[in-house]
Amino acid sequence: MAGSSHGHTPAAWTGVTIAFIGFCVSGAYMVMAEPLGFWAGMVIVLLGGVVGMIMKSMGLGQAKSTHGDDWSGAAKAEAKAISGEPLPAKG
């Protein structure tokens, strides 16, 4: 997975951080038996997803691959080596 940049974007980090904070808020209020606080935390979790999508639409996310796959050359070569498929000759 090190060959790809899966999730290494400001949009992904921001969305996940907000969702994590919401998860912590919900967990704390669940332990305190406060349903309103729990649901407020769940709203924060959803807000993290919305913020991530908005940031991605603003160009702060990872661009879609034009070839239909996100594998780097090294990852493709490793997958071929594991599967037993012959590698192309370098010339």
pLDDT, one tens digit per residue, over 46-56 is 999 999 999 99
Cβ atoms of 41 and 23 closer than 8 Å: yes
Alpha-helix runs per DSSP H in the chain = 10-31, 35-55, 73-83
Q: What is the DSSP letter of 58?
A: I
14, two tokens: 């921001």
Q: Which pTM was predicted?
A: 0.65
Q: Which residues of 22-38 are buried (b: 16+ CB within 10 A; e: fewer)?
A: beebbeebeeeeeeeeb
**pLDDT per position as a tens digit, 2-37:** 556 666 889 999 999 999 999 999 999 999 999 999
Higher pLDDT, 60 or 42: 42
